[in-house]
């Protein structure tokens, strides 16, 4: 269990001081720890963050179409982004996990970190009000929101490659992890992408398997002549 000084430190990182710290403690409690866990808070926080980001995008991208807004929101609230925010707060050290999750490195897992961020958002809402919660979410996402533009609404390389192949009734690509380098907290993934319509595999490198696969798919699109070299 996290000690009170740890929770004080975490609240300074979050930029929010809980009036009822038990909400924060519950938000940090994974289901593997016991029946009293953060699953219900995660449900609440997921709805709130989607609403807050949707409202911000609606107000700040007046010329964007519905599909563009949806893709921008998906870019912001996807698990990888939420996990990145969780790592910025060093949430892994505060999580309450069952022994199995502790042994398997659950404190580093993207899905657990992302769920915990959403749980904390839900906890802040219960501890305060919607306006306060909105303010916190926008502070946490500020830099990412400022860097958004409508070019970000383009579908990701893996989706574009899959749709191109499906439109021609070609087999789907096969991704394979070639190697993983580095320590657990700073790994580099090397991934290959094999296409029956190409006589060679393309490769990608990234800080996660997903990012490496995206790079390999982008290379495949260029090799197929679908997209030009930048």
Q: Does an H or E element contain 204, and which?
A: strand 202-206
Q: Any binding-site annotation on 22?
A: no
Listed in order, strand segments (DSSP E) in the chain are 174-181, 188-194, 202-206
| CA atoms of 67 and 73, how far apart (whole Å) | 10
Tell me how long the chain is.
230
Longest dimension (CA), the chain: 62
Q: How far is C-alpha 170 from the geometric centre of its chain's CA atoms?
A: 30
Among 101, 118, 127, 213, the active-site one is 118
Q: Any known ligand binding at 118?
A: yes
Q: Is there a catalytic annotation at residue 118?
A: yes
Nearest Cα residue to 101 out of 37, 10, 187, 11 = 37
Calpha distance 27→36 (Å, rounded): 10
Catalytic residues: 46, 118
Binding positions for Mg(2+): 42, 115, 118
């Amino acid at each position: 269990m996290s000690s009170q000084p740890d929770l004080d430190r975490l609240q300074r990182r979050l930029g929010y001081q809980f009036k009822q710290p038990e909400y924060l403690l519950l938000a940090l409690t994974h289901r593997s720890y016991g029946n009293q866990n953060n699953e219900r808070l995660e449900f609440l926080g997921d709805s709130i963050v989607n609403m807050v980001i949707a409202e911000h995008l609606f107000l700040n991208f007046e010329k964007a179409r519905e599909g563009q807004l949806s893709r921008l929101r998906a870019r912001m609230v996807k698990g990888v982004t939420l996990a990145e925010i969780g790592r910025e707060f060093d949430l892994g050290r505060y999580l309450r996990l069952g022994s199995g999750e502790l042994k398997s490195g659950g404190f580093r897992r993207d899905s657990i970190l992302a769920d915990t961020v959403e749980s904390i958002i839900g906890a802040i809402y219960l501890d305060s009000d919607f306006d306060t919660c909105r303010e916190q979410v926008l502070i946490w996402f500020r830099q990412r929101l400022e860097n958004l533009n409508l070019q970000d609404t383009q579908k990701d390389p893996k989706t574009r490659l899959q749709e191109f192949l499906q439109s021609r009734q070609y087999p789907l690509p096969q991704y394979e992890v070639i190697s993983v380098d580095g320590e657990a907290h700073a790994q580099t993934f090397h991934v290959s992408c094999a296409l029956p319509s190409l006589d060679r595999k393309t490769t990608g490198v990234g800080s996660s398997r997903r990012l490496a696969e995206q790079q390999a798919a982008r290379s495949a699109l260029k090799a197929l002549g679908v997209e030009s070299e930048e």
